[in-house]
Structure 1
């Protein structure tokens, strides 16, 4: 009797997560699997579960795995999984909600501070031999307004950090189940109009794709800061670049992009006021374990409830 297969769309999984899945055969797709790679592995291995780290999992992959019962995200964002196709096939899709909340919220805070204090620019200037003490003035965040779009585990953690710094916190989230007293509930229009800093913490959906665009940026305060540690598809990238060029946006701190990895000729690479990181907000040693364990537990929960076909 051979153990049922769980496919991991990545090259590794935390030892704690692997231990939880010791009754299963783990198959790893490698560091940079393509959708075609995932389909081929599903066809060859017929997994009962998939843990999604990288690449997309679409209907073709699900069709190639007739025993598939559950797709678990190694993290919180499930936009790389075709949830409509999964629902049609009776496959459960689960996220490790909150597993990387501390990591991402801290990264958003780091990007906000780096933008406000011109950290990268000043570092570069000093390395070129300049001493800008007499000419440079950073932005002070105390007393300013930060507008949050999305108030799940990550957004609420970031909100507490901003509030502790003396910032006024406003938020928009029509689906939020909890609403801390220190966050003022507003409409989306108020986020654009009142915020000195806007930080995105919402999932990407067809309704909010490119919500940061030329029209919405035009409604923002002059010199607004934009932080995005959510999904790149929330931002119209050429519109943001143009707004930074014009000064409408003082600076932007981005951890996700429409196309990943970012193309070598991307317009953002030539603009020092747009600070970039390679979608690693949730990648810490601690979050790696928490996301892996959360994904493994989600897989086991579903498989414990579902009849399973074993190969002999």
Structure 2
């Protein structure tokens, strides 16, 4: 075994990833920790790598280890890692690209269905002893239009799910040419997608070009009763503006990521109607957890082994 250590910002990871990293001493933060505790751990252990699931891997964390060579992300979102600092420090920061694509796409589909048929509201009413068959009308997805914003590994899967249901699929992705898109979809500009879609599903990274992508003005372009789903990253939707639309009964929302996480009893989301909320678990399935952990471990080893 190497004397070198790897810090893992989690209490445990999939056994297959542990097996890959067996030649290194693994140091776990636990499930809950402060930034100060993370900095202290990195400073004490001087790891050659950080396998990052939770916490902010900022410049202070990175510079705490003189031996740090690589940060392997347990997932695909890189906004918790200061990549500019990593470049300055000569540290490679690598996402586990494609590792949780199926898991996240399946959650997006689940949220679309839950909103379209008001499944969560009906379930809660049933548990309260109500029978709301009279007056209930769901929204049928077959024949409706699905707008997919960002057509990478996850967006492609969601587009195929939509097509399988019988939906017309529009795609907006400024980084792809038409011939790179799934067969049968139509590429359009973002605002055209928003005005034409019954369902809008976000599948793009958070960066300067996507931050506040759905602001109050663009939310105003959506059809009344449209469904918005975000299983990507928080920060792409103006949360206050969309809550106003939800309270007015103008939209439905499926949301798996929040600007302030975790939410608590004082959060304005707690009493927001017409919203199906999940606690950032898009990639948290048996397959997703394995894929993210193994992908992060493989990325770390690719750097450490040269």
TM-score by length of 1: 0.94
Unpaired runs of 5+ residues, structure 1, are 306-312
Q: Is the 8 A contact 2:249 2:274 kept in 1?
A: no
Kindly indicate whether residue 212 of structure 2 is the aligned counterpart of residue 245 of structure 1. Answer: no
Q: Any idea what SS the aligned residue of 2:227 has?
A: strand
Q: Any idea what SS the aligned residue of 1:234 has?
A: coil
Higher mean C-alpha displacement, 49-58 vs 32-41: 32-41
Counterpart in 1 of 2:36? 36
What CA distance in whole angstroms lies between the structure 2 residues aligned with 1:128 and 1:158? 33
Q: Is the 8 A contact 1:32 1:55 kept in 2?
A: no
- Residue 2 of structure 1: CA displacement? 5.5
Q: Is the 8 A contact 1:7 1:47 kept in 2?
A: yes
What CA distance in whole angstroms lies between the structure 2 residues aligned with 1:2 and 1:223? 58
Alignment of 1:106-121 (within 5 A): 106-121=106-121
What CA distance in whole angstroms lies between the structure 1 residues aligned with 2:153 and 2:2? 39
What CA distance in whole angstroms lies between the structure 1 residues aligned with 2:205 and 2:298? 22
Cα offsets for 1:236-291 (capped at 9, x unmatched)? 11111101122321x10100000110132111211231111100010011211111
Alignment of 1:1-312 (within 5 A): 3-176=3-176, 178-249=180-251, 251-305=252-306
What CA distance in whole angstroms lies between the structure 1 residues aligned with 2:30 and 2:244? 37
TM-score by length of 2: 0.96
What CA distance in whole angstroms lies between the structure 2 residues aligned with 1:176 and 1:77? 19
What CA distance in whole angstroms lies between the structure 1 residues aligned with 2:127 and 2:8? 43
What CA distance in whole angstroms lies between the structure 2 residues aligned with 1:46 and 1:248? 52
CA RMSD, 1 decimal? 1.3
Cα offsets for 1:27-80 (capped at 9, x unmatched)? 001102232222111111111111111011000011111111100110111110
Unpaired runs of 5+ residues, structure 2, are none
Q: Is the 8 A contact 2:2 2:23 kept in 1?
A: no
What CA distance in whole angstroms lies between the structure 2 residues aligned with 1:293 and 1:194? 40
Q: Any idea what SS the aligned residue of 2:305 has?
A: helix
How many pairs are equivalent? 304
Q: Any idea what SS the aligned residue of 1:44 has?
A: helix
Q: Is the 8 A contact 1:145 1:170 kept in 2?
A: yes
Q: Any idea what SS the aligned residue of 1:72 has?
A: strand
Q: Is the 8 A contact 1:49 1:71 kept in 2?
A: yes
What CA distance in whole angstroms lies between the structure 1 residues aligned with 2:2 and 2:173? 47
- Residue 130 of structure 1: CA displacement? 1.9
